[in-house]
Amino acid sequence: MLQKFFGSRKSILLVFAGIFSLALLLLAWRIVSLQKAASEAVSEPVLKISYCGAEPEELCVLSFGRDVDENMVVNIFVPDRKFPDFYLKIKRTAGESVYECEKDKEVPTNVYCYGDMVNLQERMEISLFAREDERLIAAGDFTLKAILISESALVERADGGSAPEPTVDETPTTSAFFDLPTATATPTKTPVTSYPNSSYP
């Protein structure tokens, strides 16, 4: 009887020991996998972003512009349509600003980011951060050398009357350049032919 009791108890202990060992193995595997994923995420290099060339193939800045609301527009080329959603942080002398970005619906490789205006010839540091996990994707230093103004901004400026309207001068006539003398008609005298008196016999 006692032998049977201790035999069953030993079996139960072995079962619990097996379950506990399996749980420890699963926990250890989970910890190792998480550490591996974290190390891969940390070791992922930060991309270098710069101005685009004639035929862009990598992440780059196409242009800097200005919209009708006087916001700066940063046009960024992304090589892959599955590129993660991101936002910009632009650091300059005046401070750091966040620029919200959205993909062009017609051209998914174009992304437009809107934020505070930057002065011409001002140096700035641009950083791209993933929206999902705040991971730094890319960074680069720029100097704002030119600003593209949208056509809608030009139209609004013309409608508002802030742009001067060109004046059309009257086309000058020939007499405005030259003072031509007026020709007067001088009557000519008809010569009178006179003959000597001839005597007749």
Q: Could you please report the per-residue DSSP string of 162-196?
A: -SPPPPPPPPPPHHHH--PPPP-PPPPPPPPP--P
**pTM of the shown model:** 0.55
Work out whether the CA dihedral 45, 48, 54, 56 comes out positive or negative. positive
Give me 187's structure tokens.
């009557």
pLDDT score recorded for residue 71? 92
pLDDT number for residue 81: 76
DSSP single-letter state for residue 51? B
Q: Are 124 and 118 in contact (CB under 8 A)?
A: yes
Whole-angstrom Cα distance, residue 17 to residue 58? Answer: 55
> What pLDDT was estimated at residue 152?
53
Type of residue found at 1: M
pLDDT computed for residue 110 by the predictor: 94
* Run means of pLDDT, 10 residues per run, the chain, 201 residues: 59 79 86 71 79 92 92 93 92 94 92 94 96 94 87 51 40 38 48 49 46
Q: What is the pLDDT of residue 162?
A: 45
